[in-house]
Amino acid sequence: MTAVGGPAPAGRRALALGPLLAALAAVTVVWLLDPPLADLQAALAREQAADSGVGLTYWFSWYGGISPGSYSSLVPFLSLLVGSRVLALAAPLAVVALAFPLSRGLPHPVLFRWAVAAAAVSNLLAGRVAFGVGAAIALLAVLALRSRRPVVGGALLAVSGLASPLVPAFAGLVALPLLAGGGSRSPAVRGALAGAAAGVAVPFALFGAPGAYQFPWTTLALTVGTAAAVWPALWRTPQRWLAPLAAVAATVLFLVPTGVGANMGRFAYLVLPAVVLVWSRWDRRPLLLALLPALAWTVYAAARDEVAALDDGYRAEDYAALRTELLQQPHLAGHRVELVDNWSRGGSHLLGPEVALARGWEDQTDNHLNEEFFAPGGQDAADYRAWLADNAVAYVAVAADPVTRDEPEHQLVRSGLPYLAEVWSDERWTLYRVADPSPIVAEPLDLVSATPAELVVDVPDTRLHRVQVRPNRYLVARSATDPELTACLTPTDDGWVGLRAPAPGTYVLAGDFSLSGVLGADAESCS
């Protein structure tokens, strides 16, 4: 007589390996289809910047000059070794693989692995390379903490912040409620909190806080609702305060603008399900019911990003003609291009290192430097003209299918502005020339050369001159013939740089990592 029981051993092995196989299938599909995932374009742009010699300190190609290290200090250089696409595909596989040893001893190990796989795949389909790499490092940290190596675990959490500061911030949020249950006596909890604090504090100390990130009320409602749904499953565990803490944190971030903003939603649908499955002792069915809002959000986010990329995103070939046309324009050197991009944001790197963009693909910086674009009522023709001059824009390129965020600018440009002359168009793009554009480097200075990593300028005298690049604690101007000789750089009242050379000559403006920059020494007055 044959006994009837659970799944056969082979079936159980397949079920246990299912999360890894599902992640591998998703990675394979993304590799074959190569959809133009929006966040991946930002990683590719930073990879291109690193390949052009841009370090952590200053990048001239976006927003008039920014510190790329504020987004990720680690990932651009890893991308140089293996490529951003390879990192994007490898990170979810690493995350899911690490879920297997982490699931040992849990009440629901298979569900935990599936929750981690769902989060990893959802993050992949959004194209978030830095967050994915940071998550893999953070899971290594958790393994070390579980193995009673708090110093190693804390150090790895700190390193995860060099990939994405959001990762240790989320890790700290998970560890903080454990203090209420006596966790202050646990070396693992202390190591986690110390590492998380360092992972957030080090990038902030080196590169400052980004601008505010938008936080729609719908994302707040989903975050609070998701936390409320799982709270009962954590009531009798050391994590009983995690859900209310997450809800309070989301509310504070909604009311007080920060660089986190709507990214707090990621904690609710990517992180919270796995944490609940670690701590809750509920049976599987009620637990799945409590997790349903978070899991539904995970699936929706993944499907939304993938469908948008496949249906609406421009691919590399859609930027080729625009790039060719721009490189033929007479006023490209010494000026910037305002790109009203497509949903894919591929123009952030596909126009090439020769094209300096007035903006870029970093919403926090955009909100900080260009808030007039997103204020109620937006800009009128006069405001836009002044902004183009202020940002040294010589050309405006407008996508036929622009990203929703830039739709008001798209409509303004297409309305027929007297200072914009159409010079070229195809089915994807329309290119306009700006009448009498202001240069980045105005006379009597002379721009010798410009790359993403440096500007070389001839300075004929020792007077104070305005240069339309953004001030930064790491930006320096050194003599091309005597690197010990530096010009004075000071912020102007309208957010650009004033340069005064100690002697006429050729000066190289570039980022320079220094102790005075780290300490944030006040800029000289150059008076």
Instruction: Look at residues 310, 338, 363 and tell me which one is the last residue of a structural domain.
Output: 310
pTM of the full structure: 0.93
**Domain identity same for 367 and 496:** no
18-61 residue pLDDT tens: 999 999 999 999 999 999 998 999 999 999 999 999 999 999 99
**Domain identity same for 116 and 192:** yes
**Domain identity same for 299 and 323:** no
Domain residues for the domain of 408 are 316-434
Distances (CA, A) of 115 to 232, 268, 310, 406: 19, 12, 25, 35
**274, 112 contact by CB (below 8 A):** yes
Strand partners, 395: 337, 433
**CB contact set of 116 (below 8 Å; sequence gap of 6+):** 19, 95, 96, 99, 102, 274
- Measured between its terminal Cα atoms, the distance across the chain in Å is 97
Asked whether residue 11 is assigned to any structural domain, the reply reads: no
**Domain identity same for 136 and 211:** yes
- DSSP element (H, E) containing 432: strand 429-434
**Domain identity same for 273 and 373:** no
Number of domains the chain is built from: 3
467-505 residue pLDDT tens: 999 999 999 999 999 999 999 999 999 999 999 999 999
Closest residue by Cα to residue 63 from 508, 290, 365: 365
Asked whether residue 4 is assigned to any structural domain, the reply reads: no
**Domain identity same for 39 and 102:** yes
What's the CA gap between 66 and 470, in Å, rounded? 7
Asked whether residue 16 is assigned to any structural domain, the reply reads: no
Instruction: Look at residues 256, 283, 310 and tell me which one is the last residue of a structural domain.
Output: 310
328-356 residue pLDDT tens: 999 999 999 999 999 999 999 999 999 99
Instruction: Look at residues 401, 434, 467 and tell me which one is the last residue of a structural domain.
Output: 434
Among residues of the chain, what percentage have pLDDT more than 90? 87
Q: At what angle do helices 75-82 and 84-102 cross, to 10 degrees?
A: 110
pLDDT tens for each residue of the chain, 527 residues long: 444 444 556 566 666 789 999 999 999 999 999 999 989 999 999 999 999 999 999 999 999 999 999 899 999 999 999 999 999 999 999 999 999 999 999 999 999 999 999 999 999 999 999 999 999 999 999 999 999 999 999 999 999 999 999 999 999 999 999 998 777 789 999 999 999 999 999 999 999 888 899 999 999 999 999 999 999 999 999 999 999 999 999 999 999 999 999 999 999 999 999 999 999 999 999 999 999 999 999 999 888 877 877 777 899 999 999 999 999 999 999 999 999 999 999 999 999 999 999 999 999 999 999 999 988 888 999 999 999 999 999 999 999 999 889 999 999 999 999 999 999 999 999 999 999 999 999 999 999 999 999 999 999 999 999 999 999 999 999 999 999 999 999 999 999 999 999 999 999 999 998 877 777 765 556 76
Asked whether residue 143 is assigned to any structural domain, the reply reads: yes
**Domain identity same for 169 and 255:** yes
